[in-house]
Structure formats: C-alpha cells, structure tokens
Amino acid sequence: MAWGDHRFPSYLAFERMPEIVQAAAVKVEPLSTFLRAEETALQKHMADEEAWSVANLDWYPPLPPALAFRANPSHGDAARKLAFLMALRIAPNAPLSLYFQPDIRKPRPPGQPLPHGSVNTLPLSAGVAFSYFPLNPGQMIDALSVLATATEEPDTGLDINLWSDSRSEWGKALGFGPQPFGNPSLAFSSQAPFHMGFYHESPLIYMAADFTRHTLPLHRQHQFTKLSMLAFRTGHPYWGWRFAGMALHYLQDLTQPFHASLSPGNSAIELIGINTLAMLGLSKWKDDMVILLSNRHLALEHYQTAWLRRNASLQLDGELEVALHSMARDSSYPAWSDAYVRDVVSAQAATRGAALVRAMLDSVPATYVNDPQFDFGPKADAIALNDEVEKTASAASRQGLEATVTELLGDFGAHSRNALRGILRSTPQH
C-alpha cells in the first residue's frame, strides 16, 4: 500500500491543474492495439531503457537478454502482450484491462462494476472497496479519470512474486534474483522492494545491511515515465495518461516516510545496535521493532485513507483537500529531472520520518503504535482509529498529527504535478 488507495488523493491533486482541466478527452484503446502499432518503436525504446537502467541505477539486476522485447509482426496479440510484460518484468498475468475507478466524491457511475479479478490479481481483502467500472474500446473518457485510476494500478498485482524464490513460475525467469527482504512466501510482501527505497540512510547502514540498497521503485518510475512519453509522442494519449499514472504511483509511494526510510524515528546507531544484539541471539528488540514499524506504517495509511473517505462522504473541503489542491509550493522545488524522485521526493520524506513518528506517538493510542504485542495488520479493517484519536488525544496532539499528515499530502500533490509536467513538457502536443 503506502497511501491506501492512491486514486483518492490523485483526483484531488490533479483536478485543478490547468494541464488537466484543459486536457482533451481521449479515446480508450486496448493495450494490444498500442503494442501492435508501435512494436518497432518499442523494440528500440526498451533497449534504450535497459541501457539507462544499467548505467544509472545504484542497484539493478540486468534484464536477461532472452527477455528483450523484439518486434514480431507474426505474433498474435496474446504473444505480443506476454513478450511486452516479460520485457518490462511485471507479472505476466497482469490483465491491464480497460477500466476506471471513479472519484469517490462523485455519484456512482451507472452499470455493473467489473469482477475484482478482471483488474486485480491480488485476493480481495475484506473491507477494501475497490470499484472497477468497464471501459470499451473507442469510448471517450476524460484524462483525469485515466490518470487517477492508473496511480493505483501498481498495487493491483503488477509487482507480485517477481523474485527467483517467489511462489511463481515467472519469478525464476525474470533475473531479479532472490527477494532482498520480507517474507517470500507472502505474496504481498514480495512487492515491497519495488515500492520502497532507502536512499538516504547512513553509510553505516549500507555497510551493515547491503540488502537495504536492493530496491527498484526508481526503475519502475522511469520505465513507466518513458513509456508514457512514447505513447503521447506516437499518438496514443490513453496509454500516455495511463502509463503516466503508473509512473506516479512509485513517486507517490516515496513521499511516504515509511516507504522512503528504513525505520523512521530510529538512528543508524540504534538500528545497528538492535541488529547486533539480534545476531548475538537477543532478538527481542529487533522483533519488537519490526512489529512497531509495520503497525505505525499501517496506522498512518489507515488514518489518512479514513480521513479522506470521511471528508468525501460529507462533501467536505477540509485542510487535507486544500493541501492536495494547492499548487503554491510546486515551483519551489528543483526542476524535474531523472534524479528528482531520489534527490527531492524521497530525500524530503526521509527527513519527515522522525517528526511523523513523534506526532503519531503523541496522538494515536499506544496499543496501535507502541505495543509490540499488537498486530495491526489482520485487524486493520475493524479498527476505528480516527474515532479513537478524536476521543482520546488532546486537541493539541491531534492537531499535530493532522498538520503532519496534511503536510505529507501537500508533498504528494506537489511532486505528482511536477512529475506530470516533466512528462507533458517532453511531448510535442503539450
């Protein structure tokens, strides 16, 4: 996860941006049509992308040469799609079907939603209310709906079981090697190294735990950014907006301090000390820290999602909405570049971690964020966390938490728009 459902904040972050307000509606196009039309361009494009990744990423297991995408006009649609997904190294069972998820503040669209599995390959968890509505080839749709829907797409199973020790056939072929951290038998944990990046830890951490460098969100973000530019340039604006949204997902994940640093609120010395004790057989502190980290991560997402959902149901325009709409800080950041996500987005999120943890400890009942006996994960859906904060926290500490979360979503909006401007500027029609 990271920000619960990315679509909620994305609709807000983009809906007043002039480039989106003025964007022409686009014609819905199946992936197979795009791939058939552009396979020759894609062959060169994907070879260039591979060369970029090898040259620029701090850690990158190269693409096995057999998986390189090659134009083949005799291929049928299914074979070409499979070759494309394997060359991108995303789960080859990803449907990439034609659908959209509506803005939760708008009335529900007419008609029946699609079955969960026709969009999302992850099991449907209780209490999660996704609603995938079908699109038909040739139908017109607004750019915002395509973009905002796609910002959630990388959490629908694209990055699941891609490692050599994953429970999948394809993991063995993709060349990413074994899963660097997390439990390979849990499907959802297998996507973590694609959605988290610890780029701003102390050198001591990288020396003590090299696996913390083994993450790939910058790779994914760059892959989909470049595909978006190619699609816009070659006259496939539906895929231009959709790939742009998919690229933005990875950037948005890195605005979340629990995705951008190893253990927000703990110093390198503490982490190494805890790990050293664990290696000496005293693992209690480490086990406790892992649980607390996970509980705080989930509590933040839960709190933020419930807050946006509640405001939406009341048609409220509160401080969260104002922060997501505001474009005032967008131009205060450095110009967009390939290094922006690491040097600006994740660097900022890493510096926000300690204050975030302090604000959570001050306001959220200790059971949820400071008790290693409690496992937030399985119970998350049943917890009315926001109500409990409202009831138990002092006004000052509650406001502290609200201000921190609001600031983080301000970052989410500003960086998402700056990245989109980077994509649109590079294509002739914008």
* Shortest separation between residue 376's beta carbon and Zn ion, angstroms: 18
Q: What share of the chain is helix, strand, coil (3-state, %, to 5)?
A: 60, 0, 40
Write down the least CB distance from residue 95 to Zn ion, Å.
18
How large is the greatest C-alpha to C-alpha distance in the chain, in angstroms? 68
| Minimum CB–partner distance for residue 304 and Zn ion (Å) | 14
Closer CB to Zn ion, 195 or 219, in the complex: 195
Type and span of the H or E element at 27: strand 26-27
Compute the distance between CA of residue 345 and CA of residue 99 in angstroms, rounded to an integer. Answer: 29
- The smaller minimum CB distance to Zn ion, of residues 212 and 397, is found at 212
HEC profile of 222-258: HHHHHHHHHHHHCCCHHHHHHHHHHHHHHHHHCCCHH
Q: Nearest approach, Cβ of 121 to Zn ion (angstroms)?
A: 15
Among the listed residues 337, 197, 331, the one whose alpha carbon sits nearest the alpha carbon of residue 257: 197
We find the least distance from the C-beta atom of residue 195 to Zn ion, in angstroms, to be: 4
Quick one: 253 or 301, whose CB is closer to Zn ion?
253
What distance in Å separates the CA atoms of residue 332 and residue 317, rounded to the nearest whole number? Answer: 25
Cα distances (Å, whole numbers) of residue 366 to 33, 133, 300, 374, 390:
53, 40, 14, 10, 14
The residue ranges that bind Zn ion (CB under 5 A) are: 2, 155, 195, 253
Whichever of 46 and 158 has its CB closer to Zn ion, that residue is 158
- Of residues 50 and 253, the one with the C-beta less far from Zn ion: 253
* DSSP notation for 95-107: ---SEE---TTSP
Shortest Cβ contact with Zn ion: which residue?
Answer: 195
Closer CB to Zn ion, 4 or 400, in the complex: 4
- What angle (nearest 5°) sits at the alpha carbon of residue 156, between those of residues 48 and 233? 35
- Let me know: does 294 contact 232? Beta carbons within 8 Å: no
Give the residue with the Cβ less far from Zn ion, 5 or 38. 5
Structure tokens at 407: 């600031």
Least separation in angstroms between CB 388 and Zn ion: 26
> What is the Cα–Cα distance from 418 to 105, expressed in whole angstroms?
25
Least separation in angstroms between residue 411's CB and Zn ion is 16
